[in-house]
Structure 1
Amino acid sequence: MPNPLRVIVADDHPVILFGAEHALLKFPGLQIVGRARQSTELIKMLQNDACDVLVTDLAMPGGQYGDGLPLIGYLRRNFPNLPIVVLTMLENAALLQRLRELGVISVVNKSDDLSHIGLAVQHVSRNLEYMSPSVKVALDALRMNSGGKSDEVMLSRRELEVVRLFVSGMTIKEISEQLNRSIKTISTQKNTAMRKLGIDRDSELFQYAQSNGLLNLSSHSSGEKGDVPQ
């Protein structure tokens, strides 16, 4: 009889963590060997416990290693052979594409049936891609809108600066005063960044910024957690 696949599950919401575990236990051959609520616990487990597949939430603040794309980048650099299934509520196509560029071949949207988590684990353990239905729809829309191309979304340095200051809580007027640019210029740069990212609402911009590490960009060292499109 083959050895079970050892799975670590990480999520900061107890209900999601319980639901993911319950879904995984319905699949024979899967064994949950660890549970983490933030990145500090997760990295400690990975350093000390044998694990075949990691299932991790994308937005999981509060840990030493951050969350979002910076955490995924850290995992890919330090555990390059570890298959990862990412859980997320975000459907932003640019963010999903960025995950694929980081080497994540499985993403499950939490709004889809949680049974997709077990299917994803089975696939990535064999190095096969698995995207849950909502994720497939978003990625297919991105491919159609880009004519089949999957180039990384590129924000200019000034656009990135404006987005970072805006999500930190500053108004357009305050940003214009700090950067010594006109209000019209700042507003245009913000709107251009949102259009490039396929984002329509400020709330989505905050979600995107959190998952990309932009909310804590000033405190992240570029060598450790700088996996952010620039």
Structure 2
Amino acid sequence: MTSPIRVLVCDDHAVVREGIRHVLEAEPGVTVVAEAGNAAQALALAVEHRPDVIVLDVSMPGESGLRAAPRLREAAPESRILIMSMHDNAEYVREGVRAGASGYLLKDSAAAELRMAVRAVHAGGSYFSTPAAQGLTGTGTTAGDGRDGPDEGTAPPIDVLTARERDVLEGIARGLTNKEIAAELGISHRTVETHRESLMRKLGIRTVAGLTRYVMDVGGVRRDA
């Protein structure tokens, strides 16, 4: 039997935490192992419970979720972080990515989208709600500056990738794991890893969030023959 996805919910409003718990635990295979009302509690509970996913609010009294994210990543590196916020401010989204978050979801998102986002980041992918994704578009930085992705207007064209590399890139952007991409394409897991390393090298992008942003920037991976 597959182990459940273990989630830590961090939000300073108890009613919001209760709502998130209700939404997530209505999904088979997902369980909320702990709730935190601030960043300090989240850090302690992350160390104690080692959750698979941390659903983290941006705006909290004391330390914000954006400032807490790097410390959570350091304390519980196996945990994936999904930011939830009422703000679709582009700088918040970019800061979340830089802080190590694998996704950014608005609080007015549908319950089904929250469940989908948790599953996507748990599987090793990323998930950005549409307004958050738009906040990333055209905001890349150079691969050599310690962050991720090319400058606006200098992104390598999709045509530098082989057809199979585009297939793998499309799978990554959809939030699929290497294993799922391999099964879908009928190739080995190792072959997927090889294509993934090659396309990252060609594009100068080192993270899943950066690859997802690149696909949005170029309007998809397909080109007419």
Q: Which TM-score band applies after superposition, normalised by the shorter structure?
A: 0.5 to 0.7
**Which residue in the other structure is 2:152 paired with?**
147
Cα distance, 1:34 vs structure 2: 0.5
Q: Percent identity?
A: 28
Structure with higher Rg: it is 1
The code of the aligned residue for 2:49 comes to D
1:56-93 Cα deviation digits (max 9, x unpaired): 1111214xxx2232211211232223101111111111
The within-5 A match list for 1:204-215 is: none
Task: Give the Cα–Cα distance (whole angstroms) in 2 for the partners of residues 108 and 102 of structure 1.
Answer: 15
Which residue pairs with 1:31 in the alignment? 31
8 Å contact from structure 1 (residues 88, 110) kept in 2: yes
Could you say which residue in structure 2 is the equivalent of 1:78?
Answer: 75
Instruction: Report matched runs for 1:129-168 at 5 Å.
Output: 129-140=126-137, 142=139, 147=152
Q: What is the rounded CA distance, in whole Å, between the counterparts of 2:121 and 2:153 in structure 1? A: 24
Map of 2:6 onto structure 1? 6
- Unaligned runs of at least 5 residues, structure 1: 151-230
Give the alignment partner of residue 96 of structure 2, picking from 96, 99, 107.
99
Aligned length: 145
- Residue 123 of structure 1 deviates from its aligned partner by 0.7
2:180 counterpart residue number = none
* Aligned partners of 2:7 and 2:31 also within 8 Å: yes
Q: TM-score, normalised by structure 2?
A: 0.58
**8 Å contact from structure 2 (residues 5, 52) kept in 1:** yes
Instruction: Write the distance in 2 (CA, Å) between the matches of 1:104 and 1:149.
Output: 25
Cα RMSD (Å) of the superposition?
2.1
Q: If the length of structure 1 is used for normalisation, what is the TM-score? A: 0.57
Question: CA offsets per residue over residues 7-62 of structure 1, 9 Å max, x none?
Answer: 11111112221221121122111011111111222122112223111111111214
Q: Distance in 2 between matches of 1:101 and 1:69?
A: 9
Shift of 1:138: 2.6
> Please, which of 104, 113, 121 is the counterpart of residue 124 of structure 1?
121
